[in-house]
Amino acid sequence: MKRALSAVLSLALMGLGGTALAAEDIVNTLHNLSSSAPVTNFYQTTSTASVCVFCHSPHTTTAAPKPLWNRGASAATYTMYNNTVSSTIDMTVEAQPVGVSLACLSCHDGTVAFDVLINGAGSGGFNPAGADQGWAWGVNGDLIANTRVTHLGNDLTGDHPISITYDNVADTAFNAAVAGKVGTLPLYTNRVECGSCHNPHEATNATFLRIANTASALCTTCHIK
Ligand code: HEC
Ligand code: HEC
Ligand code: HEC
Ligand code: HEC
């Protein structure tokens, strides 16, 4: 009886695990910059089939700005969306992007080549400052071009505020955060970052959104509008 119950339980758990695994599927997204991408992405190398290497390495990387991060950081100075830009910003904005936003901007500001990595694929190729792996790219090159809508550049005043401390007392038109999240959207050290709205591993919803923005459901998770 006991054994039958635990068999049922472990089947149920396997089922849950399977669902969670099926949800995140970076291989089938624009974030697969490797030769293993099943469809031809606009940006893709022929030099490696490794998917994770463009962002993570299992060893010898720095902890910042994100887990086991493998990319050389952008040296850019950004113009932030803050209360100089908009007088109705009530919350505190960092002087420069931090954390996961900095990680995203290491490609999306268009200044750091995709293959500038701390630890290249395979043995060797370790350079703590990040080094260009010299991989082969198609005619679109190894940088997000400023003709792409995905190019955010260094002026972030035309982009939703990031690296901003979520504070629904300073502005009461916001839902309360509970245990570091607003609804299911994560805050990072209580800040809104790129990762609050996007999951870089998952494109079930268009543009890697954490929740579908049907009837602006993403926006109204935070904004009371
Ligand atoms: C385009 C960049 C990019 C690629 C490629 C990428 N990741 Fe990530 N990954 C990130 C970022 C950014 C974070 C931090 C996300 C956050 O804090 O919300 C992260 C976080 C993680 C985490 C910790 C948080 C979590 O979501 O569980 C794990 C584990 C992880 N990645 C595994 C992988 C694996 C395995 C691969 C390859 C199959 C991969 N990633 C490919 C950008 C990437
Ligand atoms: C290793 C480089 C790299 C990193 C790091 C990276 N991206 Fe991307 N991302 C890309 C490329 C390349 C594309 C495709 C661009 C194109 O085709 O114009 C892309 C596309 C996107 C798109 C558009 C998807 C679509 O369907 O149109 C979004 C949204 C996006 N990235 C968000 C993020 C966020 C958020 C982060 C950080 C959590 C991040 N990216 C980190 C390289 C990167
Ligand atoms: C408050 C939520 C939110 C934050 C924070 C946010 N984004 Fe987005 N982002 C969106 C939404 C919603 C879309 C889809 C817009 C559309 O469909 O045109 C989007 C689209 C994109 C696109 C695709 C280009 C486009 O306009 O279609 C990229 C690339 C992108 N975001 C990157 C980032 C990066 C990098 C950051 C951090 C610097 C970031 N986003 C922060 C909500 C957000
Ligand atoms: C994770 C929470 C979160 C989500 C999701 C979110 N926002 Fe925001 N938004 C904020 C915060 C925090 C501010 C800064 C408010 C302040 O300082 O008063 C802000 C500011 C803004 C502003 C600027 C207001 C000003 O005073 O200049 C606009 C416009 C805006 N958001 C629109 C959107 C839209 C549209 C969406 C959906 C695509 C969205 N937001 C999704 C948290 C969020």
48-90 tens-digit pLDDT: 999 999 999 988 777 677 889 999 878 999 999 999 999 999 9
Atom of ligand 1 nearest to the CA of 188: 17
Arithmetic mean of pLDDT, 211-217 = 97
Ligand 4 center to residue 42 CA distance, Å?
A: 30
| Pairwise CA distance, residues 89 & 81, whole Å | 9
Q: Is 218 in the pocket of ligand 1 (CB under 6 A)?
A: no
What pLDDT band is residue 13 in, cutting at 50, 70 and 90? very low
Q: Is 197 in the pocket of ligand 4 (CB under 6 A)?
A: yes
What pLDDT band is residue 10 in, cutting at 50, 70 and 90? very low
Ligand 1 center to residue 52 CA distance, Å?
A: 8
Contact 131, 115 (CB under 8 A): no
Q: Considering only CA atoms, which of 40, 38, 73, 69 is closest in space to residue 52?
A: 69
The pLDDT, as a whole number, for residue 59 is 85
Ligand 4 mutation pick, 80, 93, 160, max ligand atoms within 8 A of CB: 160
Ligand 1 center to residue 16 CA distance, Å?
A: 21
What pLDDT band is residue 122 in, cutting at 50, 70 and 90? confident
How many C-beta atoms surround the C-beta of residue 151 within 10 A? 14
Encoding tokens for residue 103? 């990680």
Q: Is 88 in the pocket of ligand 4 (CB under 6 A)?
A: yes
